[in-house]
């Protein structure tokens, strides 16, 4: 599968939603093309390789859009899957396109005390941050995978550190990490 790639410092796990501000409305067409049907890939910026993008990304679809008071277009995008990025090319419009392959992420997890507490804390965070909460019409505080994904997107650690949580077997590490930070343990 070949998709447009947008290098952005946004960490999104499956289910995660973010809002992008499109600077010039005439580029709506370009975004539309990138987004029609197959969506596009948000990849973290990374120094070192040819196009300064990471070797993985979040495959997103546009789920909503609106015109802001500032006259700009805002699009809400949701991550469906994580993808591994293969060969990347720059087209004549200087947009990046890459061959991508879907990667598995965490399998479904059983809830336990920790995941429940993390869910409650996340629920509180939603209540306190209506703008953020408005991105998610259908929050799933009962799902350990959903809750941990949102927490990892929110938690202030650098992207390289967050990278280890993209592996399918990293769920227990994620729970350990989040519990240490968020749940008080004596």
What would the x/- binding string for other proteins be over residues 157 to 186, using CB under 8 A?
xx--x--x--x-----x--xxx-xxx----
The residue within the footprint of other proteins, chosen from 37, 48, 50, 94 (CB under 8 A), is 94
Q: Which of residues 11-50 bind other proteins (CB under 8 A)?
A: 11-12, 16, 18-27, 30-31, 45
Q: Which is nearer to other proteins, 48 or 107 (CB)?
A: 48
Ranges of beta strands (E only) in 68-173 are: 73-90, 96-103
Q: 136 in helix, strand or coil?
A: coil
3-class state of residue 121 by DSSP: helix
Q: Are strands 96-103 and 73-90 parallel, antiparallel or unpaired?
A: antiparallel
Query: In this structure, which long-range contacts are made by residues 119-124, counting pairs with CB atoms below 8 Å and at least 24 apart in sequence?
Result: 119/144, 119/147, 121/182, 121/183, 122/147, 122/150, 122/151
8, 62, 117, 133: residue in contact with other proteins (rule CB under 8 A): 8
Choose among 62, 75, 61, 82: nearest CA to 23. 75
Contact with other proteins (CB under 8 A) among 37, 48, 137, 156: 156
Interface positions with other proteins (CB under 8 A): 6-12, 16, 18-27, 30-31, 45, 52, 55, 70-72, 90, 93-96, 121, 124-125, 128-129, 131-132, 135, 153-158, 161, 164, 167, 173, 176-178, 180-182
């Amino acid at each position: 599968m070949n998709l447009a790639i947008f290098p952005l410092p946004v960490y999104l796990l499956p289910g995660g939603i973010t809002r992008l501000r499109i600077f010039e409305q005439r580029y709506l067409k370009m975004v539309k093309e990138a987004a029609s049907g197959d969506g596009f890939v948000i990849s973290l910026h990374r120094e070192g390789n040819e196009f300064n993008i990471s070797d993985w990304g979040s495959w997103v679809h546009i789920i909503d859009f609106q015109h802001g008071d500032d006259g700009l277009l805002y699009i809400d995008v949701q991550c469906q899957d994580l993808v591994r990025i293969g060969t990347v090319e720059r087209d004549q419009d200087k947009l990046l396109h890459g061959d991508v392959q879907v990667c598995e992420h965490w399998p479904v997890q059983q809830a336990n005390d920790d995941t429940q507490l993390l869910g409650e804390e996340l629920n509180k965070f939603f209540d306190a941050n209506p703008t953020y909460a408005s991105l998610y019409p259908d929050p799933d505080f009962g799902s350990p995978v959903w809750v941990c994904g949102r927490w990892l997107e929110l938690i202030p650690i650098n992207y390289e550190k967050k990278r280890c949580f993209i592996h399918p077997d990293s769920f227990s590490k994620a729970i350990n990490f989040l519990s240490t930070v968020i749940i008080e343990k004596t």
